[in-house]
Chains A and B, each alone.
Chain A
Amino acid sequence: MSVFDNFFVIKISVKLLATYRKKLPEGTKGCTCQIEVPTHSVVRHIVEQYDLAFDETNVVLLNGRVTDPEQKLKNDDVVCVFPALAGG
């Protein structure tokens, strides 16, 4: 890995919960995987990468907080998606 790779790529975690867990790569333990994405990626890109929509059918969290779809990502961010559904 060159110094430029670090410059152009960031590492984030993707957490897919409930029925979306199946969209994680096979062999993933738990519900989280680490991926590398280009810098300047935004939350919406990650959601769409897993064939999910950033709309009212899903809850999308960035580091556990509600987020704007166009929010830019940084290293070690956690993007979490689960279907909007109740409850407990």
Chain B
Amino acid sequence: MNGWHGKILKINLTDQIVEQEEVNPGIAKDYLGGRGWAIKYLYEGMDPSADPLSPENILIFATGPLTGTPAPTGNRYMVVAKSPLTGALSNSNSGGEFPTWMKRTGFDLFIFTGKSSKPVYLWVNEDQVEIRSAEHLWGQDVHQTTDILLAETDPNAKVACIGPAGENLVLMAAIMNDKHRAAARSGVGAVMGSKNLKAVVVHGRKNPLMYDADAMQKLSIEIAKEVGVAVKAGSALREYGTAYVPQVTNELGILPTRNFQSGQFEGVDTIDGLTLKEKYLIRPKPCYRCPIACGRLTEVAEGSRYDGKGEGPEYESISSLGSACGIDNLAAITKANYVCNELGLDTITAGMTVAAAMEMYERSYIPEDDIGKPLRFGDADMLIELLEKIAYRDGFGDILAEGSYRLAEKYGHPEIAVTARKMEFPGYDPRGSQGMGLLYATASVGASHMAGDTAYVEVFGVPEKIDPLVTEGKPALLKRFGNAFVNIDATGLCVFLALRYVFDADINLWPTRLTKLMNLTTGANYTPESMLQAADRVFNLERMFLIRAGFTGKDDTLPPRMLHEPLPSGPAKGYVVKLDEMLPEFYQLQGWDKNGIPTPEKLAELGLSEIVN
């Protein structure tokens, strides 16, 4: 096969058996790769109602057909499983260098089933596949684990691993790769920990074959040159990383502040990209062969109580560990980010959970005795201390390790948790960005911006600016964005490049150039229509996984703060999310019935009748 290797590595951890499986070319095309192939194997391989931390859960690492190709940013992979945080799907995406190296092993997917009786790691060097003991690594943080594994395998290999958080089944545990990059959300690290799988190490030289290598090279260079021109003209992502965004969301009144009690933070000037650049940036740090380079290599100098060196923070970490916790000290936020990376925590859920605890403490909903000391908004030292306690499930950290939904419920105030499907919101308050409200309520993974980020048009004006406060047209907008994100996640590109350079530059998001890239790579004769239909197929199969896991349309909702408490100030003052104005139309556009279930006709149209029955 071209683009795809057409080969899957299946690792049965219970019996310590490794098998290879060939992929049917028709299935390969219909499900695109990456996130698409993964849901096919997950759906068919497990009972969606199974306990996500039991051996019955399946953990999938998935590259796409464009991963490891010359396509700019073709260097992403997905981690897919049933989520222990939400009980729904995990669809976590990461870049760095690991994804390309994984693709070069000659396998598109790694599928882990069962549970090892002792800690192990997987070492894949092309066809040399070994399940090795990881008992000497258990308890080590992400940096130590990575260094040890590179020393005992190959210094040019790449490592994805869990830290103490994953080992301790913390529901916000991430899978870290290349030390600083995270497949972060919805507890994929805990799934890995539940299988006693500490790490995956990859190396190889099997670049995917290209259907038309010359034309692919030419088109890739053409795209990279366009990005180069934009960067030369002045690229905010290159200069500030995503850390320039707090000023933007603050101006719109949607920067999560003090657990979403407001959308504007008085300390925004001290936590933004300019401050990061002037005080802590060493240099931009790109993912492998990325022409954008939004990553940040940073250092907080010795002498500061927050000293350290690493990568980040990017926007989401600044909003969750910063404004959401009322913290205006960027050195502390950066340190908190390093701690999350080293211990293997999702910065969004970790920060937002501490933010919820801060609000509950200030409202006297959590007794001080339970925490051991005061926990007020703005207390950076407590944030950092609690992150460590979360990762080790130490004291109050054991309660926080379950996320804000279970925390708020435990203390009798579920209304404090700002979650959808029990997952914490990212950095866009949807009361001032209505499309994001519809996204958080309906996304298979829960409140994620990476499942169809309408903030692109509502906040950033890409490909055009649309009023974030209106609901009209948002269901159709989200349907197009949802499909575009499936296309991106399934093929292996990065959204930062893809939405500007491989879709047509209007809100119809027609995948003209993406289709060309896919055809030059795979030779599979896609049309833009068939690319979008494949996205729809993947999206609906994910939805069916949720339905089989016990979710209904009633779960497509948002917490009371979003539906009933208007934003108190700023441009979106007085607004709540008007979900009921959008949800029925969204169902209709998707071909779902009034309970949010895909109709038999819709499933038949997508060729899913057989697999779901």
Residue of B nearest to A88 (CB): B315
Closest Cβ of chain A: how far from B564's Cβ, in Å? 23
Please give the residue numbers on chain A whose beta carbons come within 8 Å of chain B beta carbons, in ascending order: 15, 17-19, 21, 30-31, 56, 58-59, 61, 63-66, 80, 82-88
Other-chain contact of B460, A63, A66, A86 (Cβ < 8 Å):
A86
A86 neighbours in B (Cβ, 8 Å): 453, 455-456, 460, 462, 495-496, 499-500
In this assembly, does B527 line the interface, its C-beta being within 8 Å of a C-beta of chain A?
A: no
* Docked-complex contact A80 and B251, CB < 8 angstroms: yes
B453 neighbours in A (Cβ, 8 Å): 86-87
Write out, one digit per residue, whether chain B residues 235-273 have a CB within 8 A of any chain A CB (1) or not (0).
111011010110111011100000000000000010001
Residue of A nearest to B244 (CB): A18
A18 neighbours in B (Cβ, 8 Å): 236, 239-240, 244, 247-248, 273
Please give the residue numbers on chain B whose beta carbons come within 8 Å of chain A beta carbons, in ascending order: 234-237, 239-240, 242, 244-245, 247-249, 251-253, 269, 273-274, 314-316, 319, 426-428, 449, 453, 455-456, 459-469, 495-496, 499-500, 570-572
Residue of B nearest to A80 (CB): B251
B500 neighbours in A (Cβ, 8 Å): 86
**How far is A76 from B449 in the complex, measured between Cα atoms in Å?**
34
Residue of B nearest to A56 (CB): B464
A30 neighbours in B (Cβ, 8 Å): 269
Residue of B nearest to A21 (CB): B274
Known: A19-B236, A88-B449. A31 touches B247 (CB 8 A): yes
Known: A64-B571, A83-B236, A87-B453. A59 touches B461 (CB 8 A): yes
Closest Cβ of chain B: how far from A7's Cβ, in Å? 29
Interchain Cβ contacts under 8 Å between A and B, 9 examples:
A15-B251, A18-B240, A19-B239, A56-B465, A58-B461, A61-B252, A82-B247, A87-B449, A88-B319
Closest Cβ of chain A: how far from B479's Cβ, in Å? 19
Other-chain contact of A88, B251, B316, B469 (Cβ < 8 Å):
B316
* Docked-complex contact A65 and B236, CB < 8 angstroms: no
B466 neighbours in A (Cβ, 8 Å): 66
Closest Cβ of chain A: how far from B313's Cβ, in Å? 11
**How far is A85 from B456 in the complex, measured between Cα atoms in Å?**
8
Closest Cβ of chain A: how far from B132's Cβ, in Å? 38
Closest Cβ of chain A: how far from B502's Cβ, in Å? 14
B251 neighbours in A (Cβ, 8 Å): 15, 17, 61, 64, 80
Closest Cβ of chain B: how far from A54's Cβ, in Å? 11
**How far is A35 from B240 in the complex, measured between Cα atoms in Å?**
26
Residue among A18, A31, A65, A66 with the highest chain B CB neighbour number at 10 A: A18
B467 neighbours in A (Cβ, 8 Å): 65-66
* Docked-complex contact A65 and B469, CB < 8 angstroms: yes
* Docked-complex contact A64 and B570, CB < 8 angstroms: yes
Closest Cβ of chain B: how far from A40's Cβ, in Å? 24
